[in-house]
Amino acid sequence: MPIPAAAAEALAALLGRRFSTSGADRELHGQSESWHRAPPPDAVAWPETTEEVAQIAAICQRHRVPLIGWGTGTSLEAQALATQGGLVLDMLRMDRVLEIRAGDLQTTVQPGCTREALNQELRATGLFFPVDPGANASLGGMASTRASGTTAVRYGTMRDNVLALEVVLADGRVIRTGTRAAKSSAGYDLTGLFVGAEGTLGIITELTLRLHGQPEEVAAAVCGFPTLEQAVECVTATIQSGIPMARIEFIDADVVRAFNRFSGTQMHEGPHLMVEFHGAPASVQSDAEAFGALAADFGGTGFDWATTPEARAALWKMRHNAYRSCLALRPGATAVVTDVCVPMSHLPAAVADAAADIRAEGLLGPMVGHVGDGNFHAQILVMPGDEAELAAAKRVATRMAERAIAVGGTITGEHGVGIGKLPLMRAQHGEAVAVMAAIKQALDPQGIMNPGKLVPGVN
Amino acid sequence: MPIPAAAAEALAALLGRRFSTSGADRELHGQSESWHRAPPPDAVAWPETTEEVAQIAAICQRHRVPLIGWGTGTSLEAQALATQGGLVLDMLRMDRVLEIRAGDLQTTVQPGCTREALNQELRATGLFFPVDPGANASLGGMASTRASGTTAVRYGTMRDNVLALEVVLADGRVIRTGTRAAKSSAGYDLTGLFVGAEGTLGIITELTLRLHGQPEEVAAAVCGFPTLEQAVECVTATIQSGIPMARIEFIDADVVRAFNRFSGTQMHEGPHLMVEFHGAPASVQSDAEAFGALAADFGGTGFDWATTPEARAALWKMRHNAYRSCLALRPGATAVVTDVCVPMSHLPAAVADAAADIRAEGLLGPMVGHVGDGNFHAQILVMPGDEAELAAAKRVATRMAERAIAVGGTITGEHGVGIGKLPLMRAQHGEAVAVMAAIKQALDPQGIMNPGKLVPGVN
């Protein structure tokens, strides 16, 4: 459904050349890093102010044009694809750090600002923004998918680190949610409602984020384990013991193979944990020693400490490149990425069952995990066009999700729902899906905000 | 509006003697610890199962009877008072700890279970539930008001410690929100929506809570300061420095006077901080030393360490009795309790301005604060029936709230809205109040769930 001429005229009048229906602009905003595919959007807009976003929403509402937010296009469940056509709102021109309030450990940013750009700006302050999903995503996108990543075990997810929002609603109204106080009991937690809503309830135009002090001391290491089971059981024991890990990441033998091939490392090609400790020097030392003792109990060997900032940066850069490194294990492949998260005591079985299932289907699916949260991913490599392989990968992904639900876990720890997890939402939430639909209906009665995503059976 | 006969008959048929319209039962459920007063409810029910709560809701919906949840009756903004009449649902018979999953650091409880009862059950596990609002409140009530208290600076509020809920909706449907995973991106954060909703969207019938390991080492101390300003500036510097405080509580000279009189202490009658450190022994020592050095910079003297568990228990018991001790400073008085929370850098001015304002109005208003969060309370003592004094106390409370809003803070850090903060909700949230009203309307179209609370202009 192309955009009605009256809507296109109004948008062009408002935005000039920052509104485009050119094939190239549409194609660029119809890409996905994952296996999801959709036709490109009908048009793209690049707003520069909240007021422009509000006017765009009002125009889209009047003409019933779907409105889809776009950050860096790195979401993995097709959240930013215009699956029902419409207008993609590219937020990257709204990328400023508006204010850093170091004394309050807070910053206010525009949604197109990326996490790396923010941390660059924060360098001189001694503060940092910890949420780290790997990709250099936009902070608006990270909030919208409730992103987390390697440091969530210590610093929490976007849910925990977004204090306040400015949001443009479907009808163009602009609201502010939350406050700059560390906590509040003043009414419904609207901030928490818009975080993770994937743009289905409104467009985030400003975020106030919690900042954290750079830890006085940081220590990071890689440690190998004889088996996948022992590595994951070590994680469970570590979390249960209360050692305050800053990061504790699982990588399996296939991932190590990818690292060795594409990052030039020479690690033993078995399962490993990548860990980091933050704190005062005395704490870091006692935490690292406590973890070392636990790791030894589970057969951990060959601790390789990254002692300099450069070595640590290289270590985590390698981890962040896991997705691309693993894709390169099979040139031309794309990936079905799973994202379950389970209660800690169920983690060892969940990882082992997933590995067995991937093997049984004859697939290659390297696994990484933010295992301190019980969250792990299999990146199942499939060749575009091989429908049988894609179907097998989806079967594995669905079974992983169903097993996660059976033990009280979730079908998505951090990637969100988009269209990929939509068929599993009822199995996850039951009747609560109707409550989500009622909220969607109340805030977006015409269904123009990222339609077809997140809430099954709506639009 | 008394309960329609048909509704009373249906409720009596369902609950037998666990449904009452007796004067004594109604009076007991019409009390408030604060200055708020309302007529008693028309009836009281004591459900024992979720199914009963669902049937009660269905009956109330059919006959348009207001339904008000009741835990321990310790809320401070009249959340549990039947201000529009109706049925009070006393949840204290649903008080079981249903399951402790130590390996997952989780428990599932019924809403009438109190925090002290839960911690008693947890004793043998090495785990504890940290949220501590002072009163031995019910966990359902604590979730509904998004309670926090002395330990939130380290362990977070109920928002951070409730993982999943079972909720009975206005029409009797039962839903489950959240999961047992540490994090989830699977749709709207309904758990976060019901936490802090004060029973206006549904009745919580089951909670899954995060637990935390008992710290290996605990150290607590009291430290005096020459002036209120220096004590509060020390807090701001402590939080900005990143020392991981487990508790950091401010008490002013009036509170110390109340403690000396009613707890038999002999503290210097000036402002103090009460602090606690949790962690491995090495961490606790380095944290305590770092805090000690900062306190000295702000004139802190006379560190009094509570070195035994008994001494620590006595210290925090005294702090928890602050409300009653301060009430006793003026026999017969009741209290208007303020509850603002401001960004850290604004805390010293906020506390000083409040103290000056209370003095200028000629009132007695001892101040305590969970100052590590920027949250503090003045407990303004007023004599029942003295309308001029009550009006003066309300003026002070309103000005404190307005100053908090002006610096980006909140009108309530932990006590909630009820009816007390209702007139300030628009000043706090602006147009976002309309979004809250839309959500209320979507989930409770007949307005039977705790009507007249939290959302201004609805019901």
Is the Cβ–Cβ distance between B457 and B433 less than 8 Å? yes
Burial A200-225 (b: 16+ CB within 10 A, else e): bbbbbbbbbbbbbbebbebbbbbbbb
Question: Is the CB of B182 less than 8 angstroms away from the CB of A414?
Answer: no
Mean pLDDT across A173-188: 98
Q: Is residue A437 part of a domain?
A: no
Q: For an interface test with A, give the residue of B101, B161, B188, B210 to mutate (most A CBs within 10 A).
A: B188
For residue A343, is pLDDT > 90? yes
B241 CB neighbours in chain A (<8 A) are 213
- For residues B118 and B200, state if they share a domain: yes
Does the pLDDT value for residue A459 go beyond 80? no
Identify the helix (H) or strand (E) that includes residue B161. Answer: helix B158-161
Give domain status of residue A435, yes or no: no
Assess whether B319 and B346 both reside in one domain.
no
Given B296, B324, B352, the domain boundary residue is B324
Closest-CA distance, B297 to chain A, in angstroms, reads 18
Domain-located, residue B435? no
Which pLDDT score is estimated for B459?
61
Q: Which two tokens stand for residue B57?
A: 């809701």
Tokens 């019924």, residue located = B110
> In this model, does residue A257 exceed pLDDT 80?
yes
pLDDT at A237 (0 to 100): 93
Contacts B431 to A, Cβ<8 Å = 173-176
Same domain, A103 and A172: yes
* Range with lowest mean pLDDT among A279-293, A419-433, B17-31: A279-293
CB contact under 8 Å between B212 and A242, yes or no, is yes
Please report residues of B whose CB lies closer than 8 A to that of A285.
Answer: 282
**What is the pLDDT, as a whole number, of residue A115?**
98
Contact A184 B410 (CB under 8 A): yes
Q: What is the extent of the structural domain holding A34?
A: 5-92
Query: Which pLDDT band holds residue A2 (cuts at 50, 70, 90)?
Result: confident
Question: Is the CB of residue A403 less than 8 Å away from at least one CB of chain B?
Answer: no
d(CA A186, CA A178) in angstroms, rounded, equals 9
DSSP characters over A325-373: HHHTTSTT-EEEE---B--GGGHHHHHHHHHHHHHHTT----EEEEGGG
The pLDDT of B276-281, averaged and rounded, is 93
Domain termination residue (choose one: B298, B324, B350): B324
DSSP bridge partners of B204: B167
CB contact under 8 A, A455 and B412: no
Q: Looking at CA atoms only, how far is residue A356 from chain B in angstroms?
A: 22
Q: Is the domain of A415 the same as that of A342?
A: yes
In a domain, A448, yes or no: no
Per the rule left: phi > 0, alpha: psi between -120 and 50, beta: everything else, B156 is left
- CB-nearest partner of A345 from B104, B195, B404: B104
Across residues A381-391, what is the average pLDDT? 96
Same domain flag for A164 and A191: yes
- 3-state percent helix, strand, coil for chain A, nearest multiple of 5: 40, 20, 40
Looking at the domain assignment, is residue A455 inside a domain?
no
The CA distance from A27 to the nearest CA of chain B, in Å, is 28
Q: What was the pLDDT predicted at A324?
A: 93
- Residues of B whose CB is below 8 A from A435: 169, 175, 190, 443
Same domain, B55 and B129: no
Reply yes or no on whether the pLDDT at A307 is more than 90.
Answer: no
Kindly state whether A120 is in contact with chain B, defined as any CB-CB distance less than 8 angstroms.
no
Q: What percent of chain A has pLDDT over 90?
A: 93
Judge: B186–A433 Cβ closer than 8 Å, yes or no. Answer: no
Whether residues B102 and B204 share a domain: the answer is yes
**Average per-residue pLDDT for chain B:** 96
pLDDT digits over B3-45, tens only?
999 999 999 999 999 999 999 999 999 998 788 989 999 999 9
User: B182 vs A375: CB contact, 8 Å cut-off?
Assistant: yes
Q: Determine, for residues A185 and B412 on separate chains, whether the beta-carbon distance falls below 8 Å.
A: yes
A contacts of B104 (beta carbons < 8 Å): 343-346
Q: Do both A27 and A55 map to the same domain?
A: yes
For residue A48, what pLDDT is reported?
Answer: 98
Nearest beta carbon to residue A345 from set B103, B145, B212: B103
Q: What is the pLDDT of residues B332-360, one digit of tens each?
A: 999 999 999 999 999 999 999 999 999 99
Cross-chain CB nearest to A454 (options B187, B345, B410): B187
Same domain for B197 and B157: yes
Using a CB-CB cut-off of 8 Å, the residues of chain A touching B76 are: none
User: Mind listing the pLDDT tens digit for each residue in B48-62?
Assistant: 999 999 999 999 999
Q: Looking at the predicted structure, is the pLDDT value of residue A1 above 80?
A: no
The residues near A375 (Cβ < 8 Å, ≥ 6 apart) are A148, A339, A340, A341, A369, A413, A414, B181, B182, B183
Cβ–Cβ below 8 Å for B176 and A106 = no
Q: Which chain A residues are closer than 8 Å to B103 by Cβ? A: 236, 240, 344-345
Q: Do A435 and B374 touch (CB under 8 A)?
A: no
| A414 touches B at CB < 8 Å | yes
Reported as a single tens digit per residue, the pLDDT across A184-209 is 999 999 999 999 999 999 999 999 99
For residue B446, being part of any structural domain is answered with: no
A281 contacts in chain B (CB < 8 Å): 286
The nearest alpha carbon in chain A to B425 belongs to: A186
**What residues 360-379 of chain B have any CB closer than 8 A to a CB of chain A?**
373-375
B181 to A343: CB separation less than 8 angstroms, yes or no:
yes
| B437 has a chain A CB within 8 A of its CB | no
| Domain harbouring A27, CATH code | 3.30.43.10
Please tell me the distance from the alpha carbon of residue A199 to that of residue A163, in angstroms, as a whole number.
18
Do residue B72 and residue B122 come from a single domain? no
Triad A113, A116, A121: Cα angle to 5°:
75
Under an 8 A CB cutoff, do A374 and B212 touch? no
Angle at B55 between CA B51 and CA B59, to 5 degrees: 170
Whether A252 has a pLDDT exceeding 70, the answer reads: yes
Q: In chain A, which residues have their Cβ closer than 8 Å to the Cβ of B442?
A: 438-439, 441-442
Whether the per-residue pLDDT at B323 is higher than 70: the answer is yes
Does residue B105 sit at the A interface (CB-CB below 8 Å)?
yes
Residue A260, pLDDT > 90, answer: yes
Residues near B217 by beta carbon (within 8 Å), at least 6 away in sequence:
B277, B278, B279, B280, B281, B283, B284
The answer to whether B16 contacts chain A (CB < 8 Å) is no
What domain count does chain B have?
4
> Is residue A104 over pLDDT 70?
yes
Helix/strand/coil for B281: helix
Q: Do A146 and B189 touch (CB under 8 A)?
A: yes
Is residue A442 one of the residues assigned to a domain?
Answer: no
- Domain at B400, CATH number: 3.30.70.2740
Look up tokens 């392989």; give the residue: A389
Among A226-235, A303-312, B205-214, B397-406, which stretch is predicted with the lowest mean pLDDT?
A303-312
Nearest to A442 among B184, B428, B438 (CB): B438
Output DSSP code: residue A130. Answer: -
* Average pLDDT score over residue span A422-432: 97
Question: B161 lies in a domain?
Answer: yes
pLDDT value at residue B303: 85
* Percentage of chain A lying above the pLDDT 70 cut: 100
Residue A258 has pLDDT above 90, yes or no: yes
Tell whether B205 and B310 lie within a shared domain. Answer: no
B414 interfacial to chain A (CB closer than 8 Å): yes
B1 has a pLDDT exceeding 70:
no
Q: Do B69 and B140 form a contact (C-beta atoms < 8 A)?
A: yes
CB A154 within 8 A of CB A244: yes
Tell me, yes or no, whether A111 and A209 share the same domain: yes
The answer to whether residues B18 and B55 touch, using CB atoms and an 8 Å cutoff, is: no
pLDDT digits (tens, 9 = 90+) for B171-188: 999 999 999 999 999 999
What is residue B165's three-state secondary structure? strand
- C-alpha span between A386 and A382 (Å, rounded): 7
Strand ranges, E, within A225-340: 247-251, 272-279, 301-306, 334-337
Q: How confident is the model at residue B102 (pLDDT cuts 50, 70, 90)?
A: very high
**Percentage with pLDDT > 70 across chain B:** 100
- Any B CB within 8 A of A98 CB: no
Measured between CA atoms, how close is B379 to chain A, in angstroms?
A: 18
CATH number for the domain that contains residue A316:
3.30.70.2190
The answer, for A449 touching chain B at a CB cutoff of 8 Å, is: no
Q: 214-273 in B: which are within 8 Å (CB) of A?
A: 236, 239-242
Count residue pairs from A and B with Cβ separation < 8 A. Answer: 299
Question: What's the pLDDT at B307?
Answer: 80
Q: What is the pLDDT of residues B260-278, one digit of tens each?
A: 998 889 999 999 999 999 9
Q: Nearest residue on chain A to B415, judged by CA atoms?
A: A185
Residue B283 pLDDT grade (very low, low, confident, very high; cuts 50, 70, 90) = confident
User: Chain A partners of B187 at a C-beta cutoff of 8 Å?
Assistant: 196, 417, 425, 428-429, 433, 436, 454-455
Q: Across residues B423-436, what is the average pLDDT?
A: 98
User: Is A143 near chain B, with CB under 8 Å?
Assistant: no
Question: Which residues of chain A neighbour B290 with C-beta distances below 8 Å?
Answer: 280
Between positions 270 and 309 of A, the ones with CB within 8 A of B are: 279-283, 285-287, 290
Domain boundary at A92, A124, A155, which? A92
Q: Is the pLDDT of residue B298 over 70?
A: yes
